[in-house]
């Protein structure tokens, strides 16, 4: 019979835990070169040496004293769920900082196996580490790994099963000065005599109390023995105690490192040299903006030939379907509904692939963390944190993980503001709307217009944060501290996988929710409105105001008429709340993109819409109500319907006002008219 165990992957942020998790379990969880990629625990399975392992990937944490939500998730898993084995992943290029967590895991009495990761980078830097000596010193197995390429994984799993067979617990090799040991001993005696504390190792618990860990003190307060514990704690000055403990841990680590490794310190690394340029006071922001601009220019221009190919394919498909199907309503469903609707969305697949390829390069190289660093100065003036910028940049892909990523923000007000403004960051689902409209109306400037919309999204997010920070969500600003990761050369394979995964999600969405959405629109566009008297899906009904959708669309049209939108756009925007791609899909259905095998873009360019309304529609789509998935995650992460509704109302009002401004200023000045 196979044995079943739980193995947790723990460690500092950005050390390669998820890379190792993926290598062990064959999953494709998100990996990125900045701290705070993983914000919830992820499970996977692997059988090795007849042992069935449930592997748990955890968010990164610097110590077992947790501050932000993601750290609390990691810490609670290790302390409360007590995994059979904890694999601590250590960044070999940053041993001292990483071993600090080791000291605490040892105190906790966890069965430890150390994965000494990024050994390739340590080697390239010229460091040498004596692994067997390190193993001897720490008295736990240390396995050298290269997580990103799956190196050393089998050896790591062997070490896990070996360790399982050993009965002796991991020994705590860390000791402190006599004063601390005496206090700790006194507290341990109290803890050991009270069953209330039996769930936690006494040594670890007492050290945490001495360090002044708030959540541990809270636990202790609930016990009857707390007055006695308090008495011991009061004998020493708590402030000096906390730093004394930290000092002594670092001293032990340094003593060990002196014997175990030889670190090359005199090289100014390539990372440092690049950083001098890209985080430069004057150059930083222009460099960031030009990267972004280049990304959208490429996304647009490079994709065009591929888009044309897809367009030709759907044109052919529509013709073939029209010839093959003789039942009129069915032909209309397939041609004007499904092919026109889904086709109008799938045509943007090349743009989506390119966008995600570019995002992946930014994420894996480590540039993203630099962007956060330079933006911190601008952002601190807006009342947002530099740390908020990473979640915001993640929003370029999708706002849902972006909102999840705010879990790394310690201050709850900072976090709330970031969640509320995150939907203004333009996500991949809005890209089809931009590519369609900018491509139709702005020709060669399309890339620039799209860049402008992304920039507008960032600007609105920052200004809104400023506004909220000084009105509804007031509070102290907290300082920004972030470790800059070293640059890593993104692998073509890694970026290609990332791109393909996102492409798959996009296609799946086109085949599911978008398909259902456009068929819904087609159906409502085919059913005669009450009193119009026509027949289902016939020419005089379909897509006109004699249909149910046209009839109701006309009722809401006055709401958007001041923005230059007609009822078709009003309807497309309503359906777009399900998923933003449906804005384009519904337009395809309602403007009759399937009828004469004409593409939606050509129909719009031929006069179905003015360039000005097109620009307004892009702005409106950027800012109005986010999609259902996003609304759901805002509710879950804020835990409040009130704030969720606030976001929806605020965004939609802003969208309306800005689109109104575009249309009114544009039509009065005659620009773009």
Q: Which of 358, 343, 363, 371 is CA-nearest to residue 300? A: 358
User: How near is the Cβ of 366 to ligand GTP at its closest, in Å?
Assistant: 7
Half-sphere exposure of 293 (CA within 13 A, CB side): 10
The entry of Mg ion, ligand GTP, none near residue 546 (CB within 5 to 8 angstroms by kind) is: none
Strand ranges (E), 176-306: 261-262
Q: Are 329 and 537 in contact (CB under 8 A)?
A: yes
Does 31 bind ligand GTP (CB under 6 A)? Our answer is: yes
Does 170 bind ligand GTP (CB under 6 A)? Our answer is: no
Interatomic CA distance for residues 4 and 85, integer angstroms: 12
Scanning 114-122, 130-138, 212-220, 343-351 for contacts with ligand GTP by CB under 6 A, the matching segment is 114-122
Does 19 bind ligand GTP (CB under 6 A)? Our answer is: yes
Scanning 32-40, 509-517, 595-603, 645-653 for contacts with ligand GTP by CB under 6 A, the matching segment is 32-40
Does 364 bind ligand GTP (CB under 6 A)? Our answer is: yes
Q: Which is nearer to ligand GTP, 71 or 107 (CB)?
A: 71
Structure tokens given for 251 = 């001293």
The entry of Mg ion, ligand GTP, none near residue 36 (CB within 5 to 8 angstroms by kind) is: ligand GTP
The entry of ligand GTP, Mg ion, none near residue 35 (CB within 5 to 8 angstroms by kind) is: ligand GTP
Interatomic CA distance for residues 22 and 42, integer angstroms: 10
User: How near is the Cβ of 407 to Mg ion at its closest, in Å?
Assistant: 13
Does 33 bind ligand GTP (CB under 6 A)? Our answer is: yes
Does 488 bind ligand GTP (CB under 6 A)? Our answer is: yes
Q: Which is nearer to ligand GTP, 18 or 547 (CB)?
A: 18
Q: Which of 98, 96, 82 is CA-nearest to residue 17? A: 98
User: How near is the Cβ of 30 to Mg ion at its closest, in Å?
Assistant: 7
Does 615 bind ligand GTP (CB under 6 A)? Our answer is: no
Interatomic CA distance for residues 629 and 646, integer angstroms: 17
Q: Are 117 and 16 in contact (CB under 8 A)?
A: yes
Scanning 46-54, 144-152, 160-168, 621-629 for contacts with ligand GTP by CB under 6 A, the matching segment is 144-152
Q: Which residues bind Mg ion (CB under 5 A)?
A: 17-18, 37-38
Following DSSP, what letter does each residue of 545-582 receive, concatenated?
TTBHHHHHHHHHHHHHGGGT--HHHHHHHHHTTT-THH
Residue 309: how many other CB atoms lie within 10 Å: 11
User: How near is the Cβ of 114 to ligand GTP at its closest, in Å?
Assistant: 14
H helix and E strand count, the chain = 31, 8
* First-residue to last-residue Cα distance in the chain: 76
The entry of ligand GTP, Mg ion, none near residue 147 (CB within 5 to 8 angstroms by kind) is: ligand GTP
Q: Is 25 helix (H, G, I), strand (E, B) or coil?
A: helix
- Enclosing H/E stretch for 510: helix 492-511
Does 38 bind ligand GTP (CB under 6 A)? Our answer is: yes
Structure tokens given for 668 = 């009065």
30-61 b/e with 16+ CB inside 10 Å = b?
A: bbbbbbbbbbebbebebebeebebbbbbbbbb
Q: Tell me which of 121, 140, 156, 582 binds ligand GTP, using CB under 6 A.
A: 121
Q: Which is nearer to Mg ion, 149 or 225 (CB)?
A: 149
User: How near is the Cβ of 629 to ligand GTP at its closest, in Å?
Assistant: 22
User: How near is the Cβ of 94 to ligand GTP at its closest, in Å?
Assistant: 12
Interatomic CA distance for residues 455 and 442, integer angstroms: 17
- Enclosing H/E stretch for 86: strand 85-91
Scanning 14-22, 132-140, 185-193, 394-402 for contacts with ligand GTP by CB under 6 A, the matching segment is 14-22
Residue 500: partners with Cβ closer than 8 Å, 6 or more residues away = 353
User: How near is the Cβ of 117 to Mg ion at its closest, in Å?
Assistant: 12
Place of tokens 């149910």: 548
Interatomic CA distance for residues 417 and 468, integer angstroms: 7
Does 18 bind ligand GTP (CB under 6 A)? Our answer is: yes
Structure tokens given for 45 = 């399975």
Assign 3-class secondary structure to 405-457.
HHHHCCCHHHHHHHHHHHHHCCCHHHHHHHHHHHHHHHHHHHHHHHHHHHHHH
- Enclosing H/E stretch for 14: none
User: How near is the Cβ of 52 to ligand GTP at its closest, in Å?
Assistant: 23
Please, what sign has the CA dihedral across residues 651, 395, 70, 379? negative
User: How near is the Cβ of 501 to Mg ion at its closest, in Å?
Assistant: 16
Q: Tell me which of 7, 25, 35, 407 binds ligand GTP, using CB under 6 A.
A: 35
Q: Is 58 helix (H, G, I), strand (E, B) or coil?
A: coil
The entry of Mg ion, ligand GTP, none near residue 148 (CB within 5 to 8 angstroms by kind) is: ligand GTP
The entry of ligand GTP, Mg ion, none near residue 666 (CB within 5 to 8 angstroms by kind) is: none
# binding residues, ligand GTP (CB under 6 A):
25
Sketch the per residue contact string, 73 through 112, with ligand GTP: x for CB under 6 A, - otherwise: ----------------------------------------
Place of tokens 């259905």: 589
Does 147 bind ligand GTP (CB under 6 A)? Our answer is: yes
The entry of ligand GTP, Mg ion, none near residue 118 (CB within 5 to 8 angstroms by kind) is: ligand GTP
Scanning 140-148, 185-193, 443-451, 612-620 for contacts with ligand GTP by CB under 6 A, the matching segment is 140-148
Half-sphere exposure of 488 (CA within 13 A, CB side): 29
Residue 478: partners with Cβ closer than 8 Å, 6 or more residues away = 385, 410, 411, 414
User: How near is the Cβ of 7 to ligand GTP at its closest, in Å?
Assistant: 15
The entry of Mg ion, ligand GTP, none near residue 211 (CB within 5 to 8 angstroms by kind) is: none
Sketch the per residue contact string, 44 through 63, with ligand GTP: x for CB under 6 A, - otherwise: ---------------xx---
Residues making up the chain, counted from first to last: 673
User: How near is the Cβ of 142 to ligand GTP at its closest, in Å?
Assistant: 15
The entry of Mg ion, ligand GTP, none near residue 447 (CB within 5 to 8 angstroms by kind) is: none
Q: Tell me which of 25, 98, 117, 621 binds ligand GTP, using CB under 6 A.
A: 117
Q: Tell me which of 8, 10, 15, 582 binds ligand GTP, using CB under 6 A.
A: 15
Q: Tell me which of 120, 188, 311, 414 binds ligand GTP, using CB under 6 A.
A: 120
Interatomic CA distance for residues 545 and 527, integer angstroms: 11
Q: Which is nearer to ligand GTP, 369 or 427 (CB)?
A: 369
- Enclosing H/E stretch for 513: helix 513-526
Does 16 bind ligand GTP (CB under 6 A)? Our answer is: yes
Does 435 bind ligand GTP (CB under 6 A)? Our answer is: no
Q: What would you report as the CA-atom Rg of the chain, rounded to the nearest whole angstrom?
A: 29
Interatomic CA distance for residues 315 and 311, integer angstroms: 6
Does 69 bind ligand GTP (CB under 6 A)? Our answer is: no
Q: Are 536 and 581 in contact (CB under 8 A)?
A: no
Q: Which is nearer to Mg ion, 151 or 534 (CB)?
A: 151
Residues that bind ligand GTP (CB under 6 A): 13-19, 31-33, 35-38, 59-60, 117-118, 120-121, 146-148, 364, 488
């Amino acid at each position: 019979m196979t044995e079943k165990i739980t193995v947790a992957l723990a460690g500092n942020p950005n050390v390669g835990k998820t890379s190792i998790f993926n290598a062990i379990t064959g999953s494709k969880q998100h990996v990125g070169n900045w701290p705070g990629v993983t914000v919830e625990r992820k499970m996977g399975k692997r059988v090795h040496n007849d042992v069935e392992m449930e592997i748990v990937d955890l968010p990164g944490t610097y110590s077992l004293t947790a501050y932000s939500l993601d750290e609390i998730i990691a810490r609670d898993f290790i302390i409360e769920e007590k995994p059979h084995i904890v694999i601590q992943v250590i960044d070999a290029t940053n041993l001292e900082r990483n071993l600090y967590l080791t000291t605490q895991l040892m105190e906790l009495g966890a069965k430890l196996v150390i994965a000494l990761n990024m050994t390739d980078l340590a080697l390239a830097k010229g460091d040498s580490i004596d692994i067997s000596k390190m193993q001897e010193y720490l008295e736990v197995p240390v396995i050298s790994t290269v997580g990103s390429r799956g190196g050393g994984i089998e050896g790591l799993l062997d070490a896990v099963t070996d360790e399982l067979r050993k009965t002796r617990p991991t020994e705590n090799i860390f000791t402190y000065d006599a004063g601390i040991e005496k206090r700790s001993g006194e507290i341990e005696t109290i803890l050991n005599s009270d069953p209330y504390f039996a769930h936690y190792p006494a040594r670890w618990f007492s050290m945490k109390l001495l360090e002044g860990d708030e959540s541990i003190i809270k636990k202790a307060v609930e016990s009857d023995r707390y007055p006695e514990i308090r008495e011991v704690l009061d004998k020493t000055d708590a402030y000096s105690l906390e730093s004394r403990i930290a000092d002594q841990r670092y001293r032990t680590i340094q003593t060990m490192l002196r014997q175990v490794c030889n670190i090359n310190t005199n090289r100014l690394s390539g990372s440092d040299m690049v950083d001098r340029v890209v985080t430069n006071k004057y150059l930083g922001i222009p460099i960031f903006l030009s990267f972004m601009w280049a990304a959208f220019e490429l996304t647009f221009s490079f994709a065009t030939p591929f888009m044309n190919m897809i367009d030709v394919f759907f044109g052919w498909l529509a013709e073939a379907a029209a010839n093959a199907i003789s039942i009129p309503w069915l032909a209309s469903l397939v041609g004007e509904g499904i092919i026109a609707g889904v086709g109008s969305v799938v045509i943007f697949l090349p743009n989506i692939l390119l966008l995600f390829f570019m995002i992946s390069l930014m994420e894996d190289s480590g540039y993203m963390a630099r962007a956060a660093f330079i933006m911190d100065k601008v952002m601190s003036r807006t009342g947002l944190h530099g740390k908020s910028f990473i979640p915001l940049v993640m929003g370029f892909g999708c706002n849902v993980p972006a909102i999840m990523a705010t879990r790394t923000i310690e201050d709850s007000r900072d976090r709330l503001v970031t969640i509320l403004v995150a939907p203004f960051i333009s996500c991949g689902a809005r890209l089809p709307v931009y590519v369609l409209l900018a491509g139709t109306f702005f020709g060669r400037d399309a890339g620039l217009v799209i860049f402008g919309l992304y920039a507008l999204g960032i600007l609105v997010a920052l200004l809104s944060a400023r506004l909220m920070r000084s009105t509804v969500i007031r509070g102290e600003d907290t300082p920004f501290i972030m470790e800059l990761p070293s640059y890593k050369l993104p692998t073509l394979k890694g970026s290609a996988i990332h791109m393909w995964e996102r492409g798959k999600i996009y296609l799946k969405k086109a085949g599911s929710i978008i398909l259902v959405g456009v068929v819904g629109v087609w159906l409502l566009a085919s059913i005669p409105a009450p009193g119009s008297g026509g027949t289902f899906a016939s020419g005089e009904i379909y897509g006109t105001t004699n249909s149910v959708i046209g009839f109701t669309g006309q009722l809401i049209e006055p709401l958007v008429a001041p923005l230059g939108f007609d009822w078709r756009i009003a309807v497309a925007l309503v359906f777009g709340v399900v998923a933003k791609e449906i804005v384009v899909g519904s337009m395809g259905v309602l403007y009759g993109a399937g009828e004469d095998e004409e593409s939606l873009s050509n129909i719009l360019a031929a006069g179905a819409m003015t360039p000005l309304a097109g620009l307004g529609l892009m702005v409106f789509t950027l800012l109005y109500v986010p999609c259902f998935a996003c609304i759901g995650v805002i509710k879950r992460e804020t835990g409040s319907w009130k704030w969720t509704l606030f976001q929806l109302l605020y965004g939609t009002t802003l969208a309306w006002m800005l689109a109104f401004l575009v249309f009114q200023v544009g039509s009065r000045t005659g620009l773009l008219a």
